[in-house]
Amino acid sequence: MQHVLLSGVSSISTVLRPAGFDASTGAVTALWLKSPEDSIWDGDDGMNEYRAFMKEWAPNEAIESSVFEYSTAQMIVEILKNCGDDLSRENLINQATNVRGLQLSMFLPGVTINISPSARVGWKKARMARFDGSRWLLLDEIDGN
C-alpha cells in the first residue's frame, strides 16, 4: 500500500518521527520548501540566511517548523518594497495581486510565486518526494503549472 501524505503533515520531526520511521518509509508527498532537516541544503545560501535569522530572532523556536512562516514574511517584505512610498490600500492590493516569478530563498529552486487578480494561489508547482527512512528524497522534476 502506498501512503501519500499532504505536504502539511510531512514534517520529519513533528509527524514522521512520532509515527515511526519504519511506518513512514516509502511514503510520498509534494514539497515546495527546503527542509532544515535535510543536509542537502547545508551549503545553500537561503538556508544559511534562514538559520542565521532563526538563531538571532527566534533562538528558542523549532527551526524545522518555521520555514513556511519565514517565507510568508519574505513575500510580505517584497510586496511592501514594491509599494514604494504608496502604502494605500489600492496599491497594496495591486502589488499583492501582481507578483510574477518571485523565487523565495526557502522555496525549492524553480518553484516561484505567481499571483494575479484572477489567480491568487501563490504557487502551483512542487516536487514529489519519497521518504527513505531518514529523509525526503526529491524525485523527478518540478510538477505543476
Average per-residue pLDDT for the chain: 91
Q: Is residue 44 part of a domain?
A: yes
Count of C-beta atoms within a 10 Å radius of residue 101? 7
Which grid coordinates belong to 71?
Answer: 517565507
Count helices and strands in the chain by DSSP H and E runs: 5, 6
Residue 144: pLDDT band (50, 70, 90) is low
Give the count of domains, the chain. Answer: 1
Q: Contact 65/36 with Cβ under 8 angstroms?
A: no
Evaluate whether residue 14 is within a structural domain.
Answer: yes
In the DSSP assignment, the letter for residue 108 is: P
Place of cell 529523509: 135
Among 127, 142, 144, CA closest to 28: 127
Q: Is residue 1 in some structural domain?
A: no
Q: 85 in a domain, yes or no? A: yes
Across 13-42, average pLDDT = 90
Establish if 101 belongs to a structural domain. Answer: yes
* Residue 109 within any structural domain of the chain: yes
CA atoms 98, 51, 65, 106: torsion sign: positive
Q: How far apart are the first and last CA of the chain?
A: 29
User: Which residues constitute the domain of residue 119?
Assistant: 7-144
Q: What pLDDT is attached to residue 33?
A: 93
19: nearest Cα among 2, 35, 29, 5: 5
pLDDT digits (tens, 9 = 90+) for 80-135: 999 999 999 999 999 999 999 999 999 999 899 999 999 878 778 889 999 999 99
pLDDT of residue 142: 63
